[in-house]
Amino acid sequence: MKKRLGWFIAGGLLVAALLAGVVSSFASSSPDGLDATARQGCTFDADDNITGGTCMLQQEQDHQLKDSPLADYGIKGIDNEFLSTGLSGVLGVAVTFAIGGGVFWLVRRRGHHEQKSDSAAGSASA
């Protein structure tokens, strides 16, 4: 049973890494719904600079972590955009899996110790 679970987790991790590493490079660069809504009411020039009107986008500010190594869906220092995006996706999957796995391990371990304590207390009172 444990062997099957290990293969299932490894397969899921592989699929997630492939999606994050390969498919993410083909994501659309067109504005999504939030960006499109934020642009409503303004006019733009050919370089996508606001030239007039009033819209939410005029309140846009740089993110506090804009200079971090993983800003803008890529890895700073890697000039190849596809490689940078793919590696940051794979790194994101690995970090998410590690954090999630750690939380599940802690919860399972705690539950296991509570079961031992309950069974020890039950046999001591008998």
Position 115 pLDDT exceeds 80: no
Distance between terminal CA atoms of the chain? 34
C-beta of residue 73 within 8 angstroms of C-beta of residue 88: yes
Q: What is the C-alpha radius of gyration for the chain, rounded to an integer number of angstroms?
A: 24
Q: What is the mean pLDDT of residues 17-41?
A: 86
At 44, the pLDDT band (50, 70, 90 cuts) reads very high
- pLDDT tens-digit readout, 74-99: 899 999 988 999 999 999 999 999 99
User: Mean pLDDT, the chain, as a whole number?
Assistant: 86
pLDDT greater than 90 at residue 124: no
For the record, the structure tokens of 28 come out as: 């659309």
pLDDT category at 69 given cuts 50, 70, 90 is confident
Give percent above pLDDT 90 in the chain: 51
